[in-house]
Structure 1
Amino acid sequence: MTSMVSTMALLLIAAVIMILMACGHTFGDGGMLVAALDAQASQENGAAAASSSTVIAASSSDLSFSGRLWHRRTSAGVEEPGPNHWDGRLATVDEQGKLHLTICRNAQGGWSCTEVLLASSLGYGTYTVQVSSPINGLHKNVMLGLFTYADDAQSELSNTHREFDVDVAKWGVASEATNIQYAIQPYQLPGQRLCFTVAGQDSTIHAMTWSPSSVSWTSTSSSSGVVLETWSFGSSPEVGAVPSPGGEVFHINLWLFGASLPEDRTDVEVVIHDFSFTPLKAPGRKLFSHQRYPRHHRPRSSSSP
């Protein structure tokens, strides 16, 4: 406010001097006034630039979606999965709060993919993602991943990265019609995944519940609430028990399987309506009666000495 007032005052003085100079008056300090105006403008422009760069720096690698902070992945070259090039700018949130993930051509003539991941681990609980885009509408070679993943591998675990997946794709793992799989990594082992098909153009909801004893999935229709598929994994001889939380975070990505080009060579976009997480409830405790007993008197119990 002070800066605005001072600028207006200087501009008013400048206007008066210009009028007087037009009438034949001269002012030896006119150059000083111009310098003062330039200095004021430079100061304000510098402050605006600093404010703008601060905003850009804060949002260049992160975005807010469904009330949580997400990191946008960017790579200097190609990286797994794919391998693909990753561009964080391709992940955006619209005015309605929906997340948009895009695969598109890049300046190098190749294709760039998109991934966002939570800033922190959530652990046991139910992870729910509502996908606005039709599952059956994805192009061949394109995969949408909804999964947990820990960067630091634990060699003592069979599932070294604590990775549990909902994968949406038409890569022909079971048949050309298959477009979704639930998976416990490593998925190649027997009983580690379930493949199925979702037809139609409806949006879908995918929920994964992680507990100490199991991981379970349920996919439903957004419009009708009809359950499309459900599956649960407890343990297997090859993998053992379900691992406990340990540094994993939830990821959402859109990428090219085997770095193959989109089937019709056009950009691909998937819209995620929202994400939610419900922590796993702790086992309930037995409630004791509030009945009062006389002082120094305990109710008789078979377990009492």
Structure 2
Amino acid sequence: MKKQLSVLLLSFLFVSCVLFAEETTLIKVKPRELAFGGLHWRTKSSITPTSPGPNYFNADPSAIWVDDWGLHLTLKQHGEKWWATEIYTRERVGYGTYTFTVETNAAAFDPHVVAGFFTWDTAPDEYNREIDIEFAAWGSPDGTKFQYVVQPYTDPERIEVFDPELNGNLTTHRIIWTPQDVSFASYHGAVDPDDPQSENMLINRWSYPQSPSEGRVRFRINLWLYQGKAPVSPVHLVVTSFLFEKWKP
């Protein structure tokens, strides 16, 4: 009997050590890095619920990847859990012009799906210097809206929410962040906002007459679940192009 107990104890300790080693490896693993749009992007991973959401974040190559189409982010179920995705630039960015084109069926998003494109400083000053373009319904059955935000969103003068009335799955977006102000614009299709003809494809334009300081921000893109609530189906988002141009005084 003692021998059996000893064998069981040793087996338990072995399994515990293996599980601990696996968990430690998952926690300490370095983020994957992808090259896209002239920048280097790192992946976020989490095996426990974390913000935003809370969500689990998957950094596996089957969840986030780059190919000839663009930079792919997914929202998928594995087992009983839904896994969000997020990437962020290795480079510090800051004042400048951010132009990117997105392909996804935002009109069909579940009410709890959120796609975010934003600046973020880990320092809490000035609301983390967060400037957002988001596709979200925030749980409402009224359908996905687009919004521009210079945080905090609780100030109604700092947020612009609108129905994009989409024509297809492809949209182009621009954020121009200077020391004086922040301006936003969105367009149907893949366009060059500097081309005067792009005005024919304009969805919305808005500006906020103040600006956070530059700080040490990176740019982030994420696809996640509001309140961590499961959607009805997986989501696939592709950033087909991304360009950052540093602000010049």
The TM-score normalised by the length of structure 2 is 0.79
Q: State the shift of 1:201 in Å.
A: 1.8
Identity %: 32
- Which of residues 64, 68, 79 in structure 2 aligns to 1:91? 64
Q: State the shift of 1:137 in Å.
A: 3.0
How many residues are treated as equivalent by the alignment?
A: 210
CA distance in 1, matches of 2:174, 2:104: 16
| 1:186 has 2:152 as partner | yes
Alignment of 1:33-48 (within 5 A): none
Question: Cα distance 1:275–1:59, how it changes in 2: closer, same or farther (>3 A)?
Answer: farther
CA distance in 1, matches of 2:30, 2:149: 33
What is the aligned partner in structure 2 of residue 248 from structure 1?
Answer: 217
Alignment of 1:38-187 (within 5 A): 61-89=32-60, 90-94=63-67, 96-107=68-79, 109-154=80-125, 159-171=126-138, 176-187=142-153
Is contact 2:187–2:202 with CA below 8 Å preserved after alignment?
A: yes
Is contact 1:202–1:223 with CA below 8 Å preserved after alignment?
A: no
| 1:203 has 2:170 as partner | yes
Amino acid at match of 2:66: V
The TM-score normalised by the length of structure 1 is 0.65
Alignment of 1:6-21 (within 5 A): none
Is contact 1:82–1:256 with CA below 8 Å preserved after alignment?
A: yes
**Higher Cα Rg, which structure:** 1
With a CA cutoff of 8 Å and minimum separation of 6, indicate the structure with the bigger relative contact order. 2
Note the alpha carbon deviations across 1:212-252, whole angstroms, 9 max, x for none: 110000001125731100000013xxxxxx21111110000
CA distance in 2, matches of 1:92, 1:163: 25
Note the alpha carbon deviations across 1:66-105, whole angstroms, 9 max, x for none: 23210000013110000000111111112x1511111111
SS in 1 for 2:128: coil
Q: State the shift of 1:140 in Å.
A: 2.0
Is contact 1:115–1:251 with CA below 8 Å preserved after alignment?
A: yes
SS in 2 for 1:252: strand
Is contact 2:173–2:187 with CA below 8 Å preserved after alignment?
A: yes
SS in 1 for 2:227: helix
Higher share in strand: 2
Which runs of 5 or more structure 2 residues have no equivalent in the other structure?
1-28, 192-197
Is contact 2:135–2:146 with CA below 8 Å preserved after alignment?
A: yes
Which runs of 5 or more structure 1 residues have no equivalent in the other structure?
1-57, 236-241, 283-305
Is contact 1:137–1:201 with CA below 8 Å preserved after alignment?
A: no
Amino acid at match of 1:93: V
| 1:281 has 2:243 as partner | no
Is contact 1:65–1:97 with CA below 8 Å preserved after alignment?
A: no
Task: Say what the alpha-carbon RMSD is for the aligned residues.
Answer: 2.0
SS in 1 for 2:157: coil
Note the alpha carbon deviations across 1:137-177, whole angstroms, 9 max, x for none: 322210000000111212xxxx320000001012267x814
